[in-house]
């Protein structure tokens, strides 16, 4: 699918089952039946969107690709079969914004980032193939920022691997842990990852990004 750079378009898609029928039953997971992550191949331009479904199973969402290049869209959902069985799946597809693609190098690895006046820092070191706790703390100036629930959780963490664009989406296992929120992250293998933490303060969602190298 092609999107002119910087112009508001609409992404439309269907999820099909093994018999190529459009799936129309989805479980609500974290308040939404469909989570759509869109990012350019160099892991810039991250967007987390929530499409809406027409009765025939066609999903649509307004989408603007802000810079030229190939972008990856991940549809993250749980399909409900006729017998009620649920299958959690993430499917990916490429989107194109025509023009000269000038990929940016990943930012240097860091455990602290700033976004919209907040400082976000985490503790923990992801290891390939084993669950590792990552503890994030969000502060505004010297004080801890009062995190609010966003889509049923105090934070959403998406990790994407440079190169193959492998996708991981995790939620905190419990609520807040003091002023921090902890995720158990299991990365599938070595590489450089870009992690995106969505969090909400005062009704506004912010996204902090971190580069991490997994040996």
Residues that bind Cu ion (CB under 5 A): 35
Choose between 28 and 110: whose C-beta lies nearer to Cu ion: 28
- Angle value at C-alpha 185, between 73 and 128, nearest 5 degrees: 95
Beta bridge partners of 139: 119, 144
Choose between 68 and 172: whose C-beta lies nearer to Cu ion: 172
For residues 205 and 150, the answer to whether their CB atoms sit within 8 Å is: yes
Choose between 68 and 77: whose C-beta lies nearer to Cu ion: 77
Task: Please identify the residue of the shown chain whose CB is closest to the bound Cu ion.
Answer: 35
Q: How far is the CB of 71 from Cu ion (least distance, A)?
A: 17
Choose between 47 and 211: whose C-beta lies nearer to Cu ion: 47
How far out from the chain centre does Cα 63 lie? 15
Rounded to whole angstroms, how far apart are CA atoms 46 and 159? 11
Q: Which residues contact 211 (CB under 8 A, 6 or more apart)?
A: 106, 107, 108, 109, 110, 192, 193, 194, 195
Q: How far is the CB of 48 from Cu ion (least distance, A)?
A: 5
Choose between 35 and 161: whose C-beta lies nearer to Cu ion: 35
In the Cβ-directed half-sphere of 198, how many Cα atoms lie within 13 Å? 22
């Amino acid at each position: 699918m092609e999107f002119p750079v910087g112009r508001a378009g609409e992404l439309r898609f269907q999820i099909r089952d093994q018999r190529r029928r459009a799936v129309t039953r989805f479980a609500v997971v974290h308040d939404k039946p469909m989570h759509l992550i869109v990012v350019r191949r160099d892991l810039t331009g991250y967007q987390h969107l929530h499409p809406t479904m027409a009765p025939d199973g066609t999903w649509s969402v307004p989408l603007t690709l802000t810079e030229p290049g190939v972008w990856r869209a991940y549809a993250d959902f749980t399909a409900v079969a006729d017998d009620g069985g649920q299958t959690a799946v993430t499917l990916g597809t490429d989107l194109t914004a025509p023009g000269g693609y000038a990929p940016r190098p990943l930012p240097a690895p860091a455990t602290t980032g700033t976004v919209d006046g907040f400082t976000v820092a985490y503790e923990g070191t992801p290891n390939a193939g084993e669950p590792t706790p990552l503890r994030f703390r969000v502060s505004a100036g010297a004080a801890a920022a009062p995190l609010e629930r966003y889509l049923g959780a105090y934070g959403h963490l998406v990790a994407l691997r440079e190169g193959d664009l492998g996708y991981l989406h995790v939620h905190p296992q419990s609520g807040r842990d003091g002023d921090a929120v902890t995720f158990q992250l299991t990365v599938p293998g070595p590489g450089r990852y870009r992690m995106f933490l969505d969090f909400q303060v005062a009704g506004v969602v912010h996204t902090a990004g971190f580069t991490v190298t997994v040996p």
